[in-house]
Chain A
C-alpha cells in the first residue's frame, strides 16, 4: 500500500505550524472536546484528535512525502509537539508511532515494511504500543526473554511484555525479541512489527496508582509474524534500539508533562504573591527556558545526523526534575490536604513517580553519562 506524494501539503513556517496547532486546540477547547491535563502524551487518548492532526499533516512530519510525511526538520516537529504538550491535548494514541517507531522503520525497515506501515501512521490509522520491558527486564533492557522462533515465512513470537501503554487501543505493537540464544545478552536481539489482530495476543490491564488504565501486560503465545515485519537486520536489534531510545528520550515530553499545572499556577498571581513564591516561579521559568533550548539542541543534532545519546539523557534527567519541581510549587499554590485524585495537582502528583522511570530510569541515564565522561 503506497500513498502518492501529497501535493496539497505545503511547507509551513515554524510560526505557521505553531498557529495551526493553536487553532485546532482552540476549536476543540471551545467545543469542550477535551480538557487539558498533565502527562497527556501518555494518558489522554482520543483517536479522533489524532485523525485531525493527521489531516493537517502533523503526524510523521519529518518523514518523506511518499509515506505521507511533510519532510520537515526535527526542529519544526519540536515546535508542534511542544505546542500540543503545552495545551495538554489528547495525543497519546499516535505519540509512540510518531516519535520513535516510525523513525525506526524509516531508518532500518525494508522498503516493503515502510510502504506497509508508515502511510497508516501518517493517516492516523495505525496506533502503536511499545513491547520493550518485560517482567524480568526493565532497566536492564537487554535481558529480554521474549523469543522469536524461525518458522517458514516468518517467526513465532512467545513472551510477556509489560508497561505496554495503550496496547488495549493499539493496532500494532513494536516488539524487541531474542532471535538467537547468545552468550552475550546484547547479541541476538531483533525488532519486529506485530499486528495486534494476529491470533495469540492477550492484553491484560495493569491499573496504575491513580486507578487509570494505560499500562498493560501483553502476552504473546506463538504469535506469527511474517518475514517482512522484521525491522532491519536479524540479530542487530540492540544497536538499533539504542538509537531509538535517543528519540524516546530527547523530546519535549520529558520537560512539559506538568506544564498544564504551571499554566494554572500562573492564573493565581494573587496566591503566588501572598505565599511569596514569586522567586520560585522565576526559577521554574528560567529552567523551562533553558530545557527548551536543550530540546532544540537535540533536534538540531538529529537534523544534522549526529548522535544525541548524552544530550538526550541529560535532557531527560533534568527535564524530569523540572516536571517534579513544578508539582512541588503547585503543592502550595494549588494543592492542599484535601486535593482529589482528579484535581490537576492530584493527577500530576499521582503520575509523577513514573517520570524518572519510563524511557530509562534516572539511575541508568546517570550511568550512560558517567560512562561517556570516564572515557579518556
Chain B
C-alpha cells in the first residue's frame, strides 16, 4: 500500500471513529458533513472543474475504507454525479447531486430506487438513449415516496411531475458511468468484506468454547481460511480494474464487480456462521457490515447483469479475443 493510500485510509478510519453511533434507518449519517468539509465527494474531478482533484484510484480507496468501517454514505453517487457534471461543463453548486441509470429508453417521469433521494438537491437521469438530464429537486415540483434498502439507506421513488430539467450535453456516455459506478461499488464491497473478515477473525481468536478459542476447532479454521481467500480474490479483482486507469474497461470492471458480489454472499454467510447467535443482534454491530454486503452486491447493475454482459462479450468475441483482452495486462 502506498503512503498516500495509507493516509486516506487513516483519514477515513478517524472519521468513522468520531461517529461511533448508528444512524437510524433512512437518516443521512452525520459523517456526511465531514465528507463534505474534506471535499471527499469531489475526488476524481479536477480542481479546475470544481472538484478536489485526485484520481479514480484515490476514490476507490476512500469508498473501500468507508465500507470497511461499515459506513453507508452517498460518496459513490455524489462523486460520480460531480464527475458527470464536470464533463458536461455544468459543475454548479449542488450540495448532494445524485446520478441514476434507468436502463430504459426515454426520460421517465417516475424514477424508482433513487439512492439518497430525499437528501439530494439535484438528480441526473440517464436513459439508454440520448444525453442525460439534470433535475432540480429543490424547486418543489417533484414528489417523493421514501423507502430504504436492506442496510437502511435511503432508496426513494421520485415523481418528477412537471419538472423538465436540463439536458447535459457533453456528459459521458451511460456505459462509462455504469463502469465507473461498477468499479466503485466493487471497491466498496471489498472494503465491507475486509471489515467483516477482520471482525470475524478477531472474534474467533478471542471467543472461547469447549475450553479453547474457536479458531482451534479445525472446521472453524477452515472457514476462516476460506473467508480470507475470498477477500484476497476480491482485492485482486479490484486492484486489476483500478490498474486499468481512468478509462476502466467493461471486462475488468465486470470481473471485479462479479468477484466482489459473489464474494459478498460468501462473506456474509461465513461472518454470521462464525459469530454465532451474537452476530444477529443489534448490539453486536456485525449487521452494519453484512446488511451492506447484501444491499450493495447488486447496486446499480446486478451481479447477474454483469455476468451476462461479460459472458455475451466472450461468446461473441471467441477465445482469441478473450485471451488477447485478458493478456493486455495482468
Contacts and interface: CB of A to CB of B under 8 A. Distances in A.
A296 B308 CA distance: 26
A86 B320 CA distance: 11
B255 A296 contact: no
A305 interface: no
Interface centre among B225, B233, B252, B306 (most CB of A within 10 A): B225
Contacts, number: 136
Interface string B246-288: 0000011011101100100000000000000000000000000
A373 B252 contact: no
B309 interface: yes
B258 A286 contact: yes
Interface in A273-308: 273, 277-283, 285-297
Interface stretch (A38-46, A63-71, A363-371): A363-371
Contacts of A290: 233, 236-237, 240, 255-256, 259
A293 B239 contact: yes
A282 B309 contact: yes
Contacts of B79: none
A126 B213 CA distance: 50
B226 A285 contact: no
Nearest to B326: A289
B176 to A, nearest CB: 20
User: Interface size bucket, B side?
Assistant: 35 or more
B160 interface: no
Name A's interface SS: helix
Contact of A288 (B226, B229, B326): B326
B229 A293 contact: no
Contact of B222 (A269, A277, A318, A366): A366
A245 B232 CA distance: 20
A111 interface: no
B307 interface: yes
Given A286-B255, A314-B228, A370-B224, A280 B311 contact: yes
A314 B227 CA distance: 11
Contact of A370 (B221, B262, B318, B326): B221
A282 B318 contact: no
A55 interface: no
Contacts of B33: none
Interface stretch (A146-154, A180-188, A190-198, A260-268): A260-268
B205 interface: yes
B317 to A, nearest CB: 8
Given A266-B319, A374-B221, A282 B307 contact: yes
Contact of B311 (A281, A288, A369): A281
Contacts of A297: 236
Contact of A278 (B240, B256, B308, B327): B308
A272 interface: yes
Contact of B221 (A278, A317, A366): A366
Interface in B69-92: none
Nearest to B234: A290
Contacts of B258: 282-283, 286-287
A281 B222 CA distance: 28
B228 A281 contact: no
Contact of A289 (B255, B308, B312): B255
Given A278-B308, A281-B311, A283-B258, A370 B222 contact: yes
B245 to A, nearest CB: 15
Interface of B: 201, 205, 215, 218, 221-222, 224-226, 228-229, 232-233, 236-237, 239-240, 251-252, 254-256, 258-259, 262, 304, 306-312, 314-316, 318-319, 322-323, 326-327, 330
